[in-house]
C-alpha cells in the first residue's frame, strides 16, 4: 500500500471519530472496579467517627500537657508524657484517614465531630492519669466495635489488630501501672495529697533517678 493510500485510511478513521463524537465534548467516566472499597455503610460511619475520636483524645492530651507544663504546676515529666500521647493520637487519626482513602471511604462533615475538652485543669497528676486511662478505654471500645462490625473484611480487621488494638492494650497497661504506682506512693484521701510523691513520680516520667 502506497503512502497516499495510508494517508487516506488515517483520514477516514479520523473523520469517523469526529462524526461519532460530534456534539458531545464531555469525557466519559471510566468504570472503576470498586472491589477494594468498603461497602458496609455502618462500618464506613464508624471509621469516619473514629477519626474524630482520635483527634478529640489528642486535644485532651494536649490540654493536659499544657496544664502540667505551666509555671504553677511545673511537672515536666507529666508535660512530656501527655505531649507524646497527644502526638500518638494525632498520628492515629492520620492513619485512619489514610486507610479510609485506600478503601474508598470519604471523610464527611456529618460524621466528623470535634469537641472542646470538658476541663482544662486537674487537681493533681493522679487525676489526669485516671482520666487518661478512662479515655483510652473508651477509644479501645470504639475500635473493637469497628472490628466486630467488619467481620468478614479480613483486610480491615488485620489493620485494626496490627496497628491499633495491640497498641491500645499496651497504652492501657502502662497507664494502669502509672495510676497504681502513684496511688501507692501518695496519700490521696481528700483533702490530703502528697505532692512530694508526685514530684518523685514526675522525675520517673522524665527518666531521671533520685540520688540520695
Summarize the confidence of residues 160-172 as an average pLDDT: 96
Tell whether 92 is in a known binding site: yes
pLDDT at 195: 82
**Which domains, ranges and CATH numbers included, belong to the chain?**
41-203 (1.20.1260.10)
- Looking at the predicted structure, is the pLDDT value of residue 116 above 60? yes
Measured CA to CA, the distance from residue 104 to residue 44 in angstroms comes to 9
Tell whether 89 is in a known binding site: yes
Tens of pLDDT, residues 19-76: 544 555 555 555 566 678 888 899 999 999 999 999 999 999 999 999 999 999 999 9
pLDDT at 23: 52
Measured CA to CA, the distance from residue 108 to residue 116 in angstroms comes to 20
Tell whether 168 is in a known binding site: yes
DSSP3 helix / strand / coil % (the chain, rounded to 5): 70, 0, 30
Does pTM top 0.85 for this prediction?
no
Tell whether 54 is in a known binding site: yes
pLDDT at 168: 96
Residue 114's contacts (CB-CB under 8 Å, 6 or more residues apart) are 52, 55, 56, 59
Amino acid at each position: 500500500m502506497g503512502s497516499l493510500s495510508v494517508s487516506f485510511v488515517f483520514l477516514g478513521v479520523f473523520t469517523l471519530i469526529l462524526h461519532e463524537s460530534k456534539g458531545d465534548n464531555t469525557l466519559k467516566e471510566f468504570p472503576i472496579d470498586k472491589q477494594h472499597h468498603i461497602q458496609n455503610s455502618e462500618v464506613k460511619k464508624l471509621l469516619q467517627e473514629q477519626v474524630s475520636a482520635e483527634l478529640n483524645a489528642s486535644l485532651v492530651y494536649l490540654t493536659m500537657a499544657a496544664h502540667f507544663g505551666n509555671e504553677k504546676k511545673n511537672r515536666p515529666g507529666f508535660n512530656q508524657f501527655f505531649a507524646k500521647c497527644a502526638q500518638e493520637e494525632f498520628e492515629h487519626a492520620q492513619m485512619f484517614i489514610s486507610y479510609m482513602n485506600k478503601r474508598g471511604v470519604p471523610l464527611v462533615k456529618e460524621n466528623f465531630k470535634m469537641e472542646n475538652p470538658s476541663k482544662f485543669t486537674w487537681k493533681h497528676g493522679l487525676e489526669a492519669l485516671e482520666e487518661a486511662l478512662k479515655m483510652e478505654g473508651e477509644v479501645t471500645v470504639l475500635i473493637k466495635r469497628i472490628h466486630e462490625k467488619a467481620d468478614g473484611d479480613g483486610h480491615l480487621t488485620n489493620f485494626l489488630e496490627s496497628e491499633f488494638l495491640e497498641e491500645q492494650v499496651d497504652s492501657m497497661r502502662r497507664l494502669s501501672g502509672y495510676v497504681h504506682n502513684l496511688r501507692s506512693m501518695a496519700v490521696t484521701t481528700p483533702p490530703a495529697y502528697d505532692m512530694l510523691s508526685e514530684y518523685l513520680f514526675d522525675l520517673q516520667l522524665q527518666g531521671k533517678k533520685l540520688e540520695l
